[in-house]
Amino acid sequence: MTASNDEKWIDKKISRRDMLKLSGIGVAGVAIGASGFGGVMKAMGYNVFEPVADSTTARNKVDFYGGHQSGINTAVQTHIYFASLNVLITSKKELQELFKKWTPLVVHLMNGELMVDLTTNTRVPTGDTGEAEGLDAANLSITFGVGPSLFEKFGISHLKPAELVDLPHFPKDQLQKEFTGGDLCIQACANDPQVAFHAVRNLVRAASGKVEIKWSQSGFNSFPAGGGTPRNLFAFKDGTVNPSITDEQDLNKVVWVDKGWLKGGSYLVARKIQMHLETWDRTSLKDQEATFGRYRDSGAALGKTKEFEDFDVEAKDEKGEYVMPDTSHVHLARKSGARILRRSYSYASGVMSNTGAHDAGLLFISFQKDPAQFVTVQNSLGRMDKMNEYITHRGSAVFACFPGVQKGSYLGEALFNAL
Amino acid sequence: MTASNDEKWIDKKISRRDMLKLSGIGVAGVAIGASGFGGVMKAMGYNVFEPVADSTTARNKVDFYGGHQSGINTAVQTHIYFASLNVLITSKKELQELFKKWTPLVVHLMNGELMVDLTTNTRVPTGDTGEAEGLDAANLSITFGVGPSLFEKFGISHLKPAELVDLPHFPKDQLQKEFTGGDLCIQACANDPQVAFHAVRNLVRAASGKVEIKWSQSGFNSFPAGGGTPRNLFAFKDGTVNPSITDEQDLNKVVWVDKGWLKGGSYLVARKIQMHLETWDRTSLKDQEATFGRYRDSGAALGKTKEFEDFDVEAKDEKGEYVMPDTSHVHLARKSGARILRRSYSYASGVMSNTGAHDAGLLFISFQKDPAQFVTVQNSLGRMDKMNEYITHRGSAVFACFPGVQKGSYLGEALFNAL
């Protein structure tokens, strides 16, 4: 390794004063050996994980600090790596320390910086797995949530919001344990798949022995060159009726929790939905459109011509039939009266080894101030939804996503303050 | 569906003369009903799949026609969807028809055009699944190859090149049947994952009942903003010693077959290699670099400072030890003397459900004029390669990729002419 390489591994956050302290230790004869500078600095009580600022110079950077976590009212990126984690520790103190440790690492990641261990020593594992080196921040957002099981595991059920309960069984659910539940989630979204994966990999690695991945799923969204709503793998535009992410007043109604330690946070619902592409592809365009309740090409509601044109779900034609069939997905979803912020990604994970059918579909993700909003929509779809013929829900989870973090604070502080 | 939508579904390739023919049929009272215009045109002997030209106006377009198939000496894209297929038909004629049918569809796909069925009828399935609508060509390349099993299946073993045999078992191989072999392959690479997936999905759909996917794998490459060699999930630059894709003379030596019906084609070797990230991440940087034989940061060979600087694999230091350890990956690969064109992609497909370990790694793909080149490299790595500790080969396949197509010809014509 060259000298210039070595320099790169020295975290720029070390102040000159600290270097003097280190030199002092060197003089005092403390061996800077196998444990590296990082170990030495920890040994001397140096806070390796002091607050890190949002970069003001990074390219394609989403800010970490603010009233809400990133990845909710952040413009949807092209890639996701979503991980649901089991927590292996049992002490509340350790859990709190974990979030304190994660917080500055998340800022580094979102800055597009290496999560560097303070070491020039190549004889220890590096502080960052390194595969994102040379890539920019790629609009990385990172969102943490806690699941219902976490509260039971730590004996803090009294702090579990009443809204945070496992989703009920829905008709046609065929959930698989290996894609369901989790104590914690990390949602990493970026405009580069390697940046998103790198974030989850490194956060889990930094918590080695404390958490393990229960299940994870990568996904993608492809945007038309001129912008606009991406199409899912059924080729229909997905997300048309979403609340605007810039309309804070509307988000207050739909997305942000307004009470308790979760105030400013939101509930994340994740559903791994397999889409039976072969069945869909044998269906006529007319039937596909009657299933969605929208035109495939324009995304407009049936009977309308423009994607964002409003529609009357009860409108009937001259024969007295619903313009938008009452078994269509959009008809039933609209009729539920409930609103959610969808932030879904497609996945294509090879084929089912038993059938050769595509193992592809939608990693459905929605944010809402109460999971009941999602439940209302899903119950309205119920057994009626024509879409049921073409999809199977394989995975499910719900998480309470912390409010945003102010500099000097850490992820989940409001929860730990309430302990 | 609006009038303007309807117009979109009429393929622009229908000449005015053909429209007159169709009108004539209409007048003669042939019902244009459930089978649609496409069916009618087929019924009247119209060649629905006439040659399609490379677009001269498409954005981000790779050309289809030429001396070689695309996806070999094409600049590496950011995404791949690789599919290995079982062929279900048994007649050589049907197989030939399939490639004749696929050829113009591939040109449409690479033009970023819809693979439109000639129909305005929404009561039949559409000619294109549609999820790439609004996306551009995204530098899509499509590469077809045939595996050893195809020749046995069709009783044409006499046409199977001697070089086209299943790869031997290598030490440490733990191949799984569900990721191994295949009669045919389709390698779709693009700068958009949805464009790559759409290509494979639609080509397989157009061959419904004739082929099925045996296994498939998506993958990605992330390039530094300023260009350069992408890093794999071990964070090392992958592909540094590749032949230049613009040095046709060198490619003639390394990549292009120069005899028989495969002249101008190449052999594709695919290996699904799981990378044990957790083990790697516990390894010191020094050991990682000794394993690769290169510096992680610069990509330079050990003892050198620049990525592309040549090195003497036999060089020793003052203690008489190899500068690049003789158990390192690059040392052993270089010592084999064999050269190949690598075109690999990383994958991150969730976690192993039994261990929670990352199911991630490398979809290794190389092109060579003889698979023996790959075998020589792999045998040189053998049991010595320090990398073995960190990887497991899970899947394997070898395919003979047809030469390029001239307009008016079709994929694999030289093979069918040799029948």
* Shared-domain flag, residues A372 and A411: no
Q: Which of A115-129, A147-161, B345-359, B405-419 is predicted least confidently?
A: A115-129
Provide the domain limits for residue A33: 1-50
Window B:144-163, CB contacts with A under 8 Å? none
**Local confidence band at B225 (pLDDT 50, 70, 90 cut-offs):** confident
- Average pLDDT rounded to a whole number, residues B72-80: 98
pLDDT beyond 80 at A210:
yes
Report the length, in residues, of chain B.
419
CB B288 within 8 A of CB B329: no
- Nearest Cα neighbor of B189 from B261, B287, B266, B109 is B109
Nearest-CA distance A261 → chain B (Å)? 31
B205 shares contact with chain A (CB less than 8 Å) = yes
Residue B380 counted as domain residue: yes
Could you say which DSSP state residue A34 is in? T
Report yes or no on A257 lying in a domain: no
A43 and A59 in a single domain? The answer is: no
Examine residue A107 and state whether it is found in any structural domain, yes or no. yes
Which residues from B are below 8 Å from A235, CB to CB? 129-131, 133
Give me the residue from A5, A122, A278 closest to B298, CB to CB: A5
Beta-carbon contacts of residue A129 (< 8 Å; ≥ 6 apart): A198, A201, A202, A205, B235, B277, B280, B281
Question: From the CB of residue B386, how many other CB atoms can be counted at a distance below 10 Å?
Answer: 20
Asked whether residue A96 is assigned to any structural domain, the reply reads yes
The interface residues of chain A toward chain B in range 206-235, judged by CB-CB distance below 8 A, are 212-218, 220, 222, 224-225, 228, 231-235
Work out the pLDDT band at A10, boundaries 50, 70, 90: very low
Q: Indicate the range of A337-346, B33-42, B176-185, B234-243 predicted with least confidence.
A: B33-42
DSSP structure class, residue B374: H
Per-residue pLDDT band for A24 (boundaries 50, 70, 90) equals: very low
Distance in Å from the first CA to the final CA of chain A: 48
For residues B394 and B191, give the distance between their C-alpha atoms in angstroms, rounded to a whole number: 26
Q: Are B373 and B410 within one domain? A: no
pLDDT reading at B50 higher than 80: no
Cα–Cα distance between A330 and B329 in angstroms, integer? 55
Residues 10-69 of B with CB under 8 A from A: 59
Probe site for chain B from A1, A286, A344 (most B CB atoms < 10 A): A1
Q: What 3-state DSSP class applies to A115?
A: coil
Kindly list the residues from chain A whose CB atom is less than 8 angstroms away from the CB atom of residue B132: 222
pLDDT over threshold 80, residue A49: no
Nearest Cα residue in chain A from B288: A125
The shortest CB-CB distance from A8 to any of B123, B234, B297 is to B297
Question: Which amino acid appears at position B30 of this protein?
Answer: V
A85 and A21 share a domain? no
Q: What band does B114 get if pLDDT is binned at 50, 70 and 90?
A: confident
The count of CB pairs under 8 A between chains A and B is 185
A285 touches chain B (CB under 8 A): yes
Of A95-99, A273-277, A351-355, B45-49, the poorest mean pLDDT is in: B45-49
Mean pLDDT of A119-136: 88
Residue A372 lies in a domain: yes
pLDDT digits (tens, 9 = 90+) for A354-408: 889 999 999 999 999 999 999 999 999 988 999 999 999 999 999 999 999 999 9
Q: Has residue B37 got a pLDDT over 60?
A: no
Task: Provide, as residue numbers in chain B, all residues whose Cβ is less than 8 Å from the Cβ of A131.
Answer: 222, 231-235
Number of domains in chain B: 3
For residues A291-320, give the mean pLDDT. 96
pLDDT value at residue B118: 53
* pLDDT score recorded for residue B334: 95
Identity of residue B373:
Q
Q: Is the pLDDT of residue A333 over 50?
A: yes
Does residue A29 surpass a pLDDT of 90? no
Mean pLDDT of B205-212: 95
**Is the pLDDT reported for residue B22 higher than 50?**
no
Token pair belonging to B323: 């500068």
Q: Which residues of A256-270 are buried (b: 16+ CB within 10 A; e: fewer)?
A: bbeeebbebbbbbbb
CB A82 within 8 A of CB A270: yes
Q: CA–CA separation, A58 vs A137, rounded Å?
A: 7
In this prediction, residues A124-144 reach a mean pLDDT of: 94
pLDDT score, position B41: 43
Q: Are residues B409 and B391 in the same domain?
A: no
Which chain B residues are Cβ-neighbours of A213 within 8 angstroms?
A: 351, 356, 358
Q: What is the pLDDT of residue A121?
A: 79
- For residue B11, is pLDDT > 60? no
Instruction: Report, as an integer, the average pLDDT of B345-356.
Output: 93
Question: Does A8 have pLDDT greater than 50?
Answer: no
- Test A282 with B134 for CB contact under 8 angstroms: no
Nearest residue, CB atoms, A130 vs list B59, B197, B296: B296
| B chain contacts of residue A224, beta-carbon cutoff 8 Å | 134-135
Contact present, A234 and A225 (Cβ < 8 Å)? no
Residue A115 has pLDDT above 70, yes or no: yes
User: Are residue A22 and residue A123 in the same domain, yes or no?
Assistant: no
The confidence score (pLDDT) of residue A214 equals 97
For chain B, give the percent of residues with pLDDT over 70: 88
Decide if A193 and B234 are in contact by the 8 Å CB cutoff. no
Name the DSSP class of B363: E
- Pick the residue with more confidence: A364 or B1? A364
**Out of A2, A282, A348, whose CB is closest to B81?**
A348
The token duo for A212 is 């393990």
- Cβ partners under 8 Å of residue A261, min gap 6: A159, A414, A415, A417, A418
Which among A59, A133, A216 is the nearest to B235, CB-wise?
Answer: A133
Q: What is the pLDDT of residue B116?
A: 73
pLDDT over threshold 60, residue A59: yes
Q: Based on the fold, state whether residues A75 and A42 are members of the same structural domain.
A: no
Average pLDDT over residues A335-340: 96
Say if strands B358-368 and B341-342 run parallel, antiparallel, or are unpaired: antiparallel
Burial profile A298-326: b = 16 or more Cβ within 10 angstroms, e = fewer: bbbbbbbeebeeebebeeeeeeeebbbbe
User: Quick check: is B269 in a domain?
Assistant: no
Average pLDDT over residues A182-211: 97
What's the residue count for chain A? 419
pLDDT of residue A400: 98
Residues A316 and A376 grouped into a single domain: yes
**Rounded to an integer, what distance in angstroms lies between the CA atom of residue A208 and that of residue B357?**
12
Same domain, B44 and B61: no
Of chain B residues 168-197, which have a CB less than 8 A from chain A?
178, 192-195, 197
- pLDDT of B404 over the 70 cut: yes
Mean pLDDT is lowest, of A25-39, A295-309, B187-201, for: A25-39
- Sequence-distant (6+) residues with CB within 8 A of B167 are B269, B371, B374, B375, B378, B396, B398
Confidence tier at A123 by pLDDT (50, 70, 90): confident
Probe site for chain A from B8, B82, B126 (most A CB atoms < 10 A): B126
E strands along B203-295, which residues?
211-220, 266-275
Residue A2 has a pLDDT of 35
Is B102 in the same domain as B195?
Answer: yes
Kindly state whether residues A325 and A348 are assigned to the same domain.
Answer: yes
Distances (CA, A) of A120 to A5, A125, A127, B237, B284: 9, 11, 10, 21, 12
Task: Say if A81 is an interface residue toward chain B (CB within 8 Å).
Answer: yes
Q: Confirm whether A263 is domain-assigned.
A: no
Task: Tell me the ipTM for this assembly.
Answer: 0.89
Q: Count other Cβ atoms within 10 Å, centred on residue A209.
A: 7
Residues 356-415 of A with CB under 8 A from B: 356, 358, 360
Percentage of residues of chain B with pLDDT beyond 90: 81
Please calculate the CA angle A263-A269-A271 and round it to the nearest 5 degrees: 170
pLDDT average, residue stretch B272-300: 96
Q: How far apart, in whole angstroms, are the C-alpha atoms of residue B297 and residue A8?
A: 9
- Mean pLDDT along residues B114-123: 74
Q: Is B188 a residue whose pLDDT tops 60?
A: yes
pLDDT band at B26 (very low <50, low <70, confident <90, very high): very low
In a domain, A352, yes or no: yes
Among the listed residues A335, A68, A105, A346, the one whose alpha carbon sits nearest the alpha carbon of residue A222? A346
Give the pLDDT mean for B144-157.
Answer: 97
Domain co-membership, A378 together with A285: yes
Q: What is the pLDDT of residues A224-243, one digit of tens each?
A: 988 899 999 999 998 899 99
